[in-house]
Structure 1
Amino acid sequence: MADQSVCTLCGAPDSWKHSLVECNMARCVWALEEEETVEHLCMAQATDARDWLMTLIQSLDHGRLVKVCVTLWAIWYARRKAIHENIFQSPLSTHNFVLQFISELQAVSTEKTTKGVAGQVPRWIPPPAGLMKINVDATLSKNVARGSVAAVARDGEGNFLGASAMNLLGISDPESMEALAYREGLALASDLALHSFRLASDNANIIKSISERNLGVYGQLTEEIKARAREFRKVEFVHENRRANGDAHNLARGNVTSDADRLVWLLVSPPGMCTAFEL
């Protein structure tokens, strides 16, 4: 930490807990973590760093504890870069670094075991031959009526093609946001001039609504999605496990605090997102 008693980044009184948990820079990173994990951090009230960490060791399972420790380390590193080198990285970049680091740790651990149980590392699912793949997801802000939708496109071999994220104000219905994520996926397909692709999400209700005539809360949206889908040669709507939808999920969560209305990445992936998967 800096020699000053005031945080260089936000001006609040500085301490070890402020630097790692309470500073705006740290809060934005923790906002991308699981709510249950963040609740444990908030409930640990010890003023001594060692006692605080011991409380977490006693209350968190091994997987969450490892993730918390790596995240604390990553926040500390990002904070030092910002204060001493004036180099700032986005909360999403820090979050994705943590995921990648833990993934590599798990890979090393798996290599040392003999046919162990498959790890819980997010795994992208390739599309059928001849199709591209677009994963979509949505998230809502916990504090205000706003949300973010995201789409990530890859070819059949897992190579990055493009991504987009859009912020929307005044929406608080999760299902409507998921439907808007599908619409964003079709918009990204148009940006990339794709003709035949699979559009995947971890929300099964929207797919069911698309396959039926549904004029409910988001019925007009699904009708618009079906109309836009007819503009392409072939579009397959599929439901996938959340673990297989990690890129879109993380991009949506990381973008919900952005001031930009819509962001598009073509050929070069967003910070922290891998450019290709090993199939």
Structure 2
Amino acid sequence: MSTHQFIMKYIRELNDCKPVEVKHNPVTRSSVRKPRWIRPPENFAKIRFDGAVNRANDEGSFNAVCRDGDGNYLGSSVIRCTGLTDPATLEALACREALALAQDLSLSHVIVASDSKGVVQDIKLGIGGMYATIVKEIRETMELFQECTVIFEGRETNQEAHSLAKHAFGLDELYPYEH
């Protein structure tokens, strides 16, 4: 895939992930489409985070995407790492990255959302097995905000962060570097 094709594919996927206003019309259950983005409470920003694995290259990525209550883009971050392919650990690192992004953006009221129910539960309970140290750091960082909550939202609301995590693996095509 050429660099131009890669960029165009990424832009198309980002356009597909734009927040949509959910209208509450009385419709039948079978015709209800799940929203791609759920608005946070007033005066809150929402940061979606996700992790991804590329086992073929023995690497992982994790990211965070932040939008305000109106769906306006505030910032994002993506990190690739070689040798780390445990999905739960990548999700925990993504949550930590989401909180770092919130601090960088000087946010005080934050909803941090993931499609990993297990990791969200571990953070709420303060456990985490092999990533318990990351969970401890997440919980300590959450205390620095006026209000900060980690929640679970299904994959259908996480397309933007999911797409960014996948595209992180193709960054070498765009920006090659010396090893």
- TM band (smaller chain): 0.7 to 0.9
> C-alpha displacement at 1:147, in angstroms?
0.8
Q: Which amino acid aligns with 2:78?
A: A
In structure 2, list runs of 5 or more residues that go unmatched.
Answer: 19-26, 173-179
Percent pairwise identity:
35
Q: Which amino acid aligns with 2:9?
A: T
Provide runs of 4+ in structure 1 moved above 3 Å: 98-101
Contact kept in structure 1, 2:47 and 2:64, CA below 8 Å: yes
Structure 1 equivalent of residue 100 of structure 2: 187
Partner-residue secondary structure (3-state), 1:123: coil
* TM-score normalised per structure 2: 0.81
Q: Distance in 2 between matches of 1:148 and 1:90?
A: 22
What is the distance in 2 between the residues matched to 1:213 and 1:98? 35
Instruction: Describe the SS at the equivalent of 1:186.
Output: helix
The equivalent residue for 2:133 is: 220
- The alpha carbon displacement at 1:142 in A equals 2.8
Distance (whole Å) between structure 2 residues aligned to residue 99 and residue 153 of structure 1: 14
SS of residue in 1 equivalent to 2:84: coil
Q: Does 1:204 align with 2:109?
A: no
| More strand as a share of residues | 2
For structure 1, the 5+ residue unaligned runs are 1-24, 26-78, 80-87, 104-113, 260-279
Give 1:117's aligned residue. 31
Contact kept in structure 2, 1:131 and 1:196, CA below 8 Å: yes
Query: Deviation digits for residues 37-86 of structure 1, max 9, x if unmatched?
Result: xxxxxxxxxxxxxxxxxxxxxxxxxxxxxxxxxxxxxxxxxx6xxxxxxx
- Report the number of matched residues: 163
Deviations 1:130-176 (Å, cap 9, x if unpaired)? 21110000101131221111111111011111111111121121110
Partner Cα separation in structure 2 for residue 128 and residue 180 of structure 1: 25
Q: 1:146 aligns with which of 59, 73, 76?
A: 59
**What's the CA shift for 1:257?**
3.1
CA contact (8 A) 2:14 2:160 kept: no
Query: In structure 1, the residue corresponding to 2:122 is in which secondary structure?
Result: helix
C-alpha contact (below 8 Å) 1:149/1:165 kept by paired residues: yes
- 1:138·1:249 contact (CA, 8 Å) conserved in 2? yes
1:68-83 equivalences under 5 Å are: none
How many angstroms apart in 1 are the aligned matches of 2:120 and 2:132?
A: 12
Residue of structure 2 in register with 1:155 after alignment: 68
CA contact under 8 A between 2:13 and 2:163: conserved in structure 1?
no
Pick closer, same or farther for the CA change 1:157–1:209 going to 2, 3 Å.
Answer: same
Superposition map of 1:215-254 within 5 A:
216-254=129-167
